[in-house]
Structure 1
Amino acid sequence: MRIGILKCGQSPEELRGELGDYDTMFERLLAGRGFDFASYHVENMQFPQDVREAGGWLLTGSRHGVYEDHAFIPPLEDFIRAAYAARVPMVGICFGHQIIAQALGGQVAKHPEGWAVGPQDYDFGGEPVRLNAWHQDQVIRRPEAAEIIASNPFCENAALVYDDRAFTVQAHPEFDDAFIEGLIEHRARGTVPGALLDRARARMGGPLQSGSIADRIEAFFKAPRSFAAQATRQGAA
């Protein structure tokens, strides 16, 4: 099954050579699960020609806010709505989680209490899941079609599902502690309060449940879908 990765941003240049860009991180996360990948740098206006170029779409994180004025955001929202209408499954992570919600009628804003940085604990329907996070924005009003499947006290809409069309997560299953440390060094200064960074570092080093989210992504993309468009997708199997 081909997964099209819509790269909504890039990892810091200082980290990219050693730790990879966002698309390569997801390829590592989902390796060995029967997927092949095509990457589209939508932040740089490189879009697929059709929503059926892949069997599913994965929207990455970004340093941008979904409510900001960037050239790639309106066509990305149009693409999301077209894929949703065609029932081509989408997975969104962080910015991807937020832009899917915004495109489908939700609202995203900065959290009044600030940032979530480093390891965070989430309740996925009774399953405790610890994942790395890096965000100040979050979905404050979910679309009518979205169902909450994970939350914590800081982030009510931590993971959403839109029947079999979209599965989105605010946290970053693709980020390991080394990448969080790199973000602290290269993106946090003057932006994230030092005390919060200290708390994040103190929590790092323990086990993360990124594999649990990779399992959920795999199951979501591979779930049976009985609609005619499935048979026409290029690279879907």
Structure 2
Amino acid sequence: MGVTPIHAIAPEHATHHGTPRCSACSLRAICMPPELTADEFARLDALICTTRPIRRGEALYRTGDTFQSIYAVRAGSFKTVVMHRDGREHVTGFQIAGDPLGLDGICAGKQNCDAIALEDSVVCIIPFAQLEAICREMKPLQHHIYQLMSGEIVRESRQMLLLGTMTAEQRVATFLLNLSKRFKARGFSSAEFHLRMTREEIGCFLGMKLETVSRMFSKFQREQLVQANGKMVRIVDPEGLAQV
């Protein structure tokens, strides 16, 4: 039975997929400020009362959808995409478990991109109006939201630097090292991981052609920096990759 994409779905219309509890979630150190008390976590548990499963290839939201909620990736992964006028796709980011989605909608009250699941995924739905209200009383949470917004600004600045100044070799190396760091922060292996995105999607993100991305992976493999077997990647020499 298929799951329909979310198009500005109000929380009461969301699909229940178990009862998410921030207080018991293994990703809470990524999603939430560590200094929250047990009582404050209980209030969050009451706020974030729904999750939503999204099938691979389906949209969590589309460009122009009315902004109502922000989301936290509970399981799986997503890509955010902006479509050019000529129909070409530009990937603006990849989100894995613990990452926020939808923050760009705060600016104009509408979503600024498409968020597409790279695999069967689950998100926690956080109604923004209720989050704003609770942030007025929970300053650590308010500060954490500011940090998330600032983090998005920093990420976009780094992406502009990557696209504007780095060689193809440096872009792919930076991409792999960034993913490695993010997986490590979530308790996963930093040396070996499965790439849910295609080489073409990596190219769309890095401003490169598919052939160039494939050539860089082959080059790193010859130099014994990386081993790639399909979508499974193992970083053999992280220091060597960092020197690139």
Question: Given the two structures, how large is their TM-score scaled by the length of structure 1?
Answer: 0.29
Question: Given the two structures, how large is their TM-score scaled by the length of structure 2?
Answer: 0.29
Q: Which structure has the larger Rg? A: 2
Q: Which has the higher helix share?
A: 2
Q: Which has the bigger relative contact order, CA under 8 A and spacing at least 6?
A: 1
